[in-house]
A and B are shown apart, each in its own frame.
Chain A
Amino acid sequence: MEMHSNYNVIEIFTVILGWLAIIFFAYTIYQKQMVKPKVWEIPLIILVGLFSFSINWRMFDVIVQLPILPLGVWILYLVFKRKDQRWQTCRSFAWLGFGANFIFLASTILTLPVHHVIYPKDDLSVYISNVENASIINIHPSAKDRSLNKDSLRKQLDTMRQEAIYSDQWYKETYMDSLSSKRNERFPYLLIGTSSKWGSGLHALIYIEDDGKGILLSTPKKDLYFRSKDSLLEEGE
């Protein structure tokens, strides 16, 4: 039951481009070969060639895989080493398989800035792009019986100011009176039913502050905090 399926369109697009490039290279190799392998073997050899030992390498805020050891190529070599002729015909494809790792690595690295330009990660409206079906749920007993003011949210999406997060301070303020279990949560509401910008593939938990004027976006990579001028919630009692 995916109501708001949201895929990373740019990523899907570059993966397809990557495969097209691999097919193109395979075709070029095939054309140049004097002794040709069976056509159905080529994708198989490339797929085995893809198999590699790689290290994870942190770049900005994503982890990319840097291929180091061509395990698949070695396996193919062991399989074919008795049959010198066969190894000669399939060697290039095995290495192309290993090279494919770099094609995908390059496309990932190229994608990052593109994705960032189209979907700026500090922009509230990238995460909350459609508020048509939005509502709030109370996630803590200190939440009041209030409802979302959709118009207010829609109007202020572009004007809310990003502010610093004082996570330790917020945490400690809550526990000021440490003896009692009477505690209010600073962000007792969760905004639901919104969708992020089409094709961004982004997901976030969107908490709303108890005064109705703050949004804490919890994305897989970081938190973002925004303040609005007017309350995003209907005034209760």
Chain B
Amino acid sequence: MTKKKIGSLGFFIILLSIIVYWFYFSRPAPFPPNQQLIEEMNRIFPKATASIIQDTIPIDERHVFVPFISKKDDYGLSYWVWKHHKWQVASIDTKGEPMIWKLNGNDPSSFYFVWNIDPKDQLSSIHFYLIRNRGYRIAEGIQRYYPRIQMEKRVPIQEKSYGTMQLSDEWVTLMNAYSKVESAKQFPEQNIFLGWTSYDQTNDETFPWSSVNGTMYVNSKIDLDYLMTVGKGDIEIPR
């Protein structure tokens, strides 16, 4: 190889790495203004009919949660991700029933509850739960007892219709310890799940009918999960 060839090869490699870096790893640009968000949402998913952006809540550098109100007066959710050197809308839901957004696959410390409850539903609070049902098993002389796990986080939702909440440290610790043991099992057993119940002003259990069963646009790259709806009767209270 001549010096010239080596030189141009080196130049090519450097150029390529700059482009790759720019495309995948560069720092995010400032988040687009509201008007641009609305246009983008309605372009990619016309059913959204977004008309008012309520807020833009950065979850981390590359993930932004954007609650919005549609022309039909529905309270919806949109999820934005900085990817391929662009702010992209990863998912749009025309209603704002509580969901869990998993930013980083199996790492529970990257899990966020998100919600946007229609004020027509007149909720005063949402209780989020981490539950594993009680159980027992006797097989081949081996006895197993599964204590009930029931952890709770209450969130008032009177001032704002929307919000996000990261899983607490205790939940994350528990989920990590749990999945470590579970993954070492030959046959995985009953699992831990996340759920919610909602309460009205008089602290009675109620269901936010105006905030559920929306239509959803999903870009396949986003990890969003529905939560179990838990009835008040399924919740244990100490004796």
Contacts and interface: CB of A to CB of B under 8 A. Distances in A.
Given A141-B238, A142-B239, A223 B181 contact: no
B144 A183 contact: no
A185 B239 CA distance: 10
Q: Interface size bucket, B side?
A: 35 or more
A142 B145 contact: no
Interface string B12-27: 0000000000000000
A167 B181 contact: no
B237 A182 contact: yes
Contacts of A164: 143
Interface stretch (A38-46, A75-83, A202-210): A202-210
Given A192-B173, A219-B181, A183 B239 contact: yes
Interface residues of A, number: 37
Interface string A149-191: 0000000000000001111101100100000011111111010
Interface in B197-239: 232-239
Contacts, number: 106
Nearest to A141: B238
B239 A165 contact: no
Given A140-B148, A203-B181, 16 more contacts: A137-B173, A141-B237, A142-B236, A165-B145, A174-B134, A174-B148, A181-B234, A183-B148, A183-B237, A203-B180, A203-B184, A204-B181, A205-B181, A219-B181, A220-B181, A223-B143
Interface of B: 107, 109, 134-138, 142-152, 170, 173-174, 177-178, 180-182, 184-186, 232-239
20 contacts: A1-B107, A137-B170, A140-B148, A142-B239, A166-B143, A167-B136, A167-B138, A167-B145, A168-B136, A168-B143, A170-B136, A171-B135, A181-B232, A185-B236, A186-B145, A187-B147, A204-B181, A216-B147, A218-B144, A220-B186
